[in-house]
Amino acid sequence: MQSRHGIGFVAWLTTLTLLVGLPQLVSAKVGFRQLTSVFPVAVQRGTSATVQVRSNFTLDGAYQVYFDRPGIQMTLAEEKPIEAPLTARGTAGTPFRFQTIVPANQQPGVYEVRIATPQAVSSVTHLLVTDFPVITETTKENGPRDQAQAISTPATVCGVVSAAEDVDSYSFTGKQGARLTFQVYGQRVTAAIHDMVARGGNYHVDPILTLYGPNGQVVAQNDNYFGGDSLLSAVLPSDGAYVLEIRDTRYIGDPRYTYAIEISDQPVFRTTFPAVIERGRSAHVELLAAGFDAGVKTELTTDKDQALGWTSRRFNIDGQETNAVRYGISEHPQITVDHATPAGKPTELRLPIGVNGRLDTPGAAHEFAFTAKKDAYYQFNLRAQQLGVPLDAVMEVFDEQSKKVGDADDSQYSQDPALTFKAPADGRFVLRLKDLHDRGGKEFVYHLDARQTGPDFELGGRFYYSMIAPGTHMMWFARLTRVNGFDGPVEVHVDNLPEGVSFTPLTIPAGMTHGAMILSCKAEAKVSSSLARVWAKATITGSDGKPQELIREGSVTCELQNGGGGQGFWPIKTSLVGVVEPLDLLKVEAKPSELKLERGGKAEFTVQIERNKGYEDPVVLEMIHQYFTSKLGEQLPPGVTLSANSPNRLAGKTLEAKMTLEAKPDALAVERLPIGVIAGVSISFSVNTLYSSNPIYLTIPGENPPPSDSKPAAMPAKKKKK
């Protein structure tokens, strides 16, 4: 049963009517645990610490804490139950203490945190693993510089911009000529929190760092560096007492605006240049440090059997270990371009290839020429923001007559562009890239992956988390993005489910881009949980005429609650499934489980619910996961709708409804496509818990037009996982 942000119109009216009695109402309802903050938000590796996790509902009985990477251990430290009723929107929730142990070899960085309790599972919050000792903000006033909290360095300072006009100041002793680096984690440790709406409709903290010298003058200041998070590096001008000040640029604050500031005399290396190395080869690379004009050069060697993709490692420079530096391993040849391309002399590319580029001066641009065949597809993926550098790249493609035939700017959730280009004719084309604002310099590096491609797909949808009680069902929603003409069937899979939980096999047929992902729990299943993996596969025909299998991982997004009841989504890494104690609905059963629907006809089925003791409020029945007019999750084939005469709610003692599906004459023909009835329980204005019926296998007889041909012109014989 997946709680969702957003409810249908009927559920909205129901919830609005019940808001007056909310404190008494919600105690009988079960919604997911909305985690809002962690304090302190950082723990030094090789140490243990007690941190405070805030939640909108109780975390009593929390038996497992999950992270997106293994190693960290976190256990509930509360000895007595803590009452935590649902709090009003925009509040920090109730604090719960957790004991945290971070191994000495744990990789530093931001980790996703998920918590499982016997009654519910949680949304995402974050924890920073740091190299430095952690100092927490004092409870005394530390805003004025003459009242700054004294700290030692190196350190990671954890605090909260807790209220409007809150300013936090920290003082330390510095030596002339010493170079210190200060970087704040603010947005990076709150990016995926479900409810961060502050007064006035603002969302994330927008921190700004200012360093004052012994004479009170500003030594350095930075607003945005890693997205909205600040970083500054400064050479101290004299011996004496320095003050570091942090505040929100808008002078707003909120108890959930936690932050961590890492302060050290070590450079913060972001990536290597070149950023990607061909597997099995060695390269001289430059480690690029934030705030430093010159990088540090070293040797990087890759093994022939090393995993492809992005990774990170520490380097030893003059006997000192660096922070973990991000770089990539590719199966394709790589070239390096670090000067502006002379006009009319583009660099020739033989695809597939990787380009490590640097726009070394303001206004610099790089041009690349490639030969293309008519109707073949070519893919250009650029990485810069993901490397932690300031380049905001744009790309354009021109034909031999200098006519623009393609362009790309920001991609979803990133300012890095991705361009898929279908050649309009045989010929030579030129790809041009530059910074959007014509900036340049040592930091303006990128990696461009250029290759010919073919039919493909991406898997997204709604599979953020689920709570499923023994003997019940829940539903996630798969959504396909079909690209480059691909319209074949796609198998969706879910792995690593808790014991006793199974996934109803789903194949999304040609002609569809969505489907119901129904999970079922055995009646004898025990309370347990696990991080699930969602993936899909499809078969295409290669250019050699042989079948080729594509496997794509599901892109997980969490739900963000915005001001005014709106919603947003943000990419995360984990899907959490929990077998929980009995919920508000004990059963949602649909009959018959096999349903035949003729084109142009109707088919009737019955849905019956069983309520848990004490739950008496209306249950909303749906076949589409909808927020007002926005369809967030679909399952019915094109041309099939739920009849307007079907009941959309069960209220009072009414526990059964007859529902009708209608098919247009041109509805898509399907065979035993699993669908289910969605039953929604309203938790608050913006959150429902979604229950599902047992699978109904829908068959619509008939013949469909053949799917688009999966064989592109000159498609590569091999297609590797992205």
Residue 65's identity, in one-letter code, is: V
What does the pLDDT average to over 151-161? 97
Cα 477 to Cα 463: distance, rounded to the nearest angstrom: 7
Per-residue confidence (pLDDT) for residue 604, from 0 to 100 = 97
**Is the model more confident about 604 or about 413?**
604
Q: What is the mean pLDDT of the chain?
A: 89
Look up residue 575 and give its two tokens: 């899907």
Helix (H, G, I), strand (E, B), or coil: what is residue 512?
A: coil
By the 8 A CB rule, do 183 and 157 touch? no
**Is the model more confident about 433 or about 682?**
433
SS (H, E, C) 441-461: CCCCEEEEEEEEECCEEEEEE
Helix (H, G, I), strand (E, B), or coil: what is residue 315?
A: coil
Position 92 pLDDT exceeds 90? no
Helix (H, G, I), strand (E, B), or coil: what is residue 565?
A: helix
Report the range of poorest mean pLDDT among 27-41, 179-193, 276-290, 560-574.
560-574
pLDDT tens digits, one per residue of 19-28: 333 333 334 5
Look up residue 515 and give its two tokens: 């489907």
By the 8 A CB rule, do 194 and 570 touch? no
- 602 CA to centre of own chain: 40
Single out the residue of 412, 647, 554, 586 nearest to residue 1, CA to CA: 586
pLDDT tens digits, one per residue of 242-287: 999 999 999 999 899 999 999 999 888 989 999 999 999 999 999 9
Residue 208, number of CB atoms within 10 A of its CB: 19
User: Please, which residues have CB within 8 angstroms of residue 259's CB and are 6 or more apart in sequence?
Assistant: 41, 158, 159, 160, 161, 184, 185, 186, 189, 205, 207, 246
Per-residue confidence (pLDDT) for residue 543, from 0 to 100 = 66
Position 13 pLDDT exceeds 50? no
Cα 444 to Cα 442: distance, rounded to the nearest angstrom: 6
| The residue count for the chain | 722
- pLDDT confidence tier of residue 114, bands split at 50, 70 and 90: very high
Residue 387 CB-density burial (10 A; 0-12 exposed, 13-18 middle, 19+ buried): buried
Domains 33-130 and 270-453 share a fold: no
Cα 699 to Cα 592: distance, rounded to the nearest angstrom: 12
Report the range of poorest mean pLDDT among 66-70, 192-196, 584-588, 707-711.
707-711
**Is the model more confident about 629 or about 475?**
475
pLDDT tens digits, one per residue of 173-213: 999 999 999 999 999 999 998 877 665 566 788 999 999 99
Position 52 pLDDT exceeds 50? yes
Per-residue confidence (pLDDT) for residue 293, from 0 to 100 = 64
Cα 446 to Cα 457: distance, rounded to the nearest angstrom: 25
- 205 CA to centre of own chain: 18
Single out the residue of 452, 271, 261, 459 nearest to residue 350, CA to CA: 452
CATH code of the region 270-453:
2.60.120.380
Look up residue 661 and give its two tokens: 């599906």
pLDDT tens digits, one per residue of 524-551: 999 999 999 999 999 988 767 788 999 9
Domain ranges within the chain, ordered by starting residue: 33-130, 140-264, 270-453, 457-700
Q: What is the pTM of this model?
A: 0.90
Single out the residue of 223, 222, 224 nearest to residue 232, CA to CA: 222
pLDDT tens digits, one per residue of 214-253: 999 999 999 988 888 999 999 999 999 999 999 999 999 9
Distances (CA, A) of 384 to 291, 406, 414, 447, 556: 16, 20, 10, 7, 22
- pLDDT confidence tier of residue 565, bands split at 50, 70 and 90: low
Cα 235 to Cα 220: distance, rounded to the nearest angstrom: 9
Give the CA dihedral 589, 516, 553, 487, nearest 10 degrees. Answer: 150
- Does domain 140-264 bear CATH number 3.30.70.1560? no
Position 3 pLDDT exceeds 70? no
Give the CA dihedral 421, 425, 426, 428, nearest 10 degrees. Answer: -60
pLDDT tens digits, one per residue of 480-521: 999 998 999 999 999 999 999 999 999 999 999 999 999 999
Cα 86 to Cα 168: distance, rounded to the nearest angstrom: 30
- Does domain 33-130 bear CATH number 2.60.40.10? yes
Residue 60 CB-density burial (10 A; 0-12 exposed, 13-18 middle, 19+ buried): middle
Partners of 210 in the beta sheet? 221, 245
pLDDT tens digits, one per residue of 643-666: 999 999 999 899 999 999 999 999
